Amino acid sequence: MSFSARDLDYFLEVARHGQLARAATSLTVTAAALSKAIRRLEDEMGLGLFERSGHGMTLTPFGVAFRERAQRMKSEHDEALRHAGDVRAGRAGLIRVGATLAVLDAVLSPALAALQPRRPGMHVRLEVASSDELIDWTRQGLLDVAVIPTYESMPHGLVHEDLLTDALVAVARVGHPVFARRRLAMGDLSKFSWVLPSVHSAARAKLDGVFRCAGATPPQGAIEVHFSASWSLPVLAATDLIGIVPVSVLALPQARGVKVIPVDALSIPRRISLFSRPNTYRSPLLEEFVQALKALAPAQRSSAARKG
């Protein structure tokens, strides 16, 4: 059973708006053209896609199921057109990758540095944004893969592969007054100023929750940033600020002047996960890039263990 790409586009737009008139305006076509397209699809399958009423058009149970299939088919069709365009433009080596600031230096940069000498003709389009934005762009097919830190819940509608398991840990400069204390309570740590992730980030929510569970006030941020851990390391090494960073960045040269604060409660487990759409074709280059990411995990765990 085959369907035209245009009819699928028309069906999805009517399903989105729930009215022929609004969908027609969005697509700049006539309502009659949309109605004919819906009828062609229904005749092809022998089942109704919409319940029609004076208030609009509502998907039938079969229509709801077909919408998911139509979205997959449209995504695959768009991807095929994109690939053909890349080949015509001489960019068959294009991969579209998304990452958060939290994984850019410790995960993405080493993987690209390892891959580029082997594939000097590759073209990487890298988008750096928040986790929510990257998940949305991956669902829409605007990204091939997204590399994102995760804690507990996983986004719906995407497949994921865990690349690295590490933790967020509290660190301070070597010689910081906090290391002179024999016993550290969470309340003691609240008294220091911190470099903190932004209040809207998952990392900040986790950290604040650890302090509250211990009956302590969450720390105050002397500096708040949308979580670029490697950026904060030189600041932490040169001041009496405390920060929270992934274990994976402790292998970076910038981390030589800092030390992990030995408080078990401040080791917050997390995973670095790779997200993509289900049943998406991976080019040889994209697969090689994924393997370069996976190859980082053992080396990072070893280096981080020595640092800790």
Who has greater pLDDT, 90 or 225? 225
The structural domains of the chain, ordered by start, are 5-88 (1.10.10.10), 93-308 (3.40.190.290)
pTM comes to 0.59
Q: What is the pLDDT of residue 228?
A: 59
Q: Model confidence over 259-282: pLDDT tens digits?
A: 999 988 889 888 889 999 987 778
Q: Are strands 123-128 and 94-99 parallel, antiparallel or unpaired?
A: parallel
pLDDT at 146 over 90: yes
Label residue 227 exposed, middle or buried (CB < 10 Å: 0-12, 13-18, 19+).
Answer: buried
How sure is the predictor about 307, in pLDDT bands with cuts at 50, 70 and 90?
Answer: very low
Q: What is the pLDDT of residue 92?
A: 55
Q: What is the pLDDT of residue 90?
A: 46
State how far the Cα of 260 lies from the Cα of 246, in Å rounded to an integer.
11
Q: Where are the beta strands (DSSP E) in the chain?
A: 50-53, 56-59, 94-99, 123-128, 145-150, 159-173, 193-197, 220-225, 242-246, 258-260, 268-276
Distance of CA 246 to the CA centre of its chain: 16
pLDDT at 302 over 60: no
Q: Model confidence over 12-38: pLDDT tens digits?
A: 999 989 999 999 998 899 999 999 999
What value does the mean pLDDT take over residues 230-242?
A: 90
Mean pLDDT, the chain, rounded, equals 85
State how far the Cα of 250 lies from the Cα of 270, in Å rounded to an integer.
15
Q: Which of 116, 65, 114 is nearest to 95 (CA)?
A: 116
Q: Where are the beta strands (DSSP E) in 31-187?
A: 50-53, 56-59, 94-99, 123-128, 145-150, 159-173
Contacts 24+ apart (CB under 8 A), 279-288: 279/72, 280/79, 280/144, 281/79, 282/144, 283/83, 283/95, 285/93, 285/95, 285/119, 285/122, 286/95, 286/144, 286/145, 288/115, 288/118, 288/119
What value does the mean pLDDT take over residues 58-84?
A: 84
Q: What is the pLDDT of residue 89?
A: 54
Q: What is the pLDDT of residue 88?
A: 59
What value does the mean pLDDT take over residues 214-237?
A: 84
Q: What is the pLDDT of residue 261?
A: 93
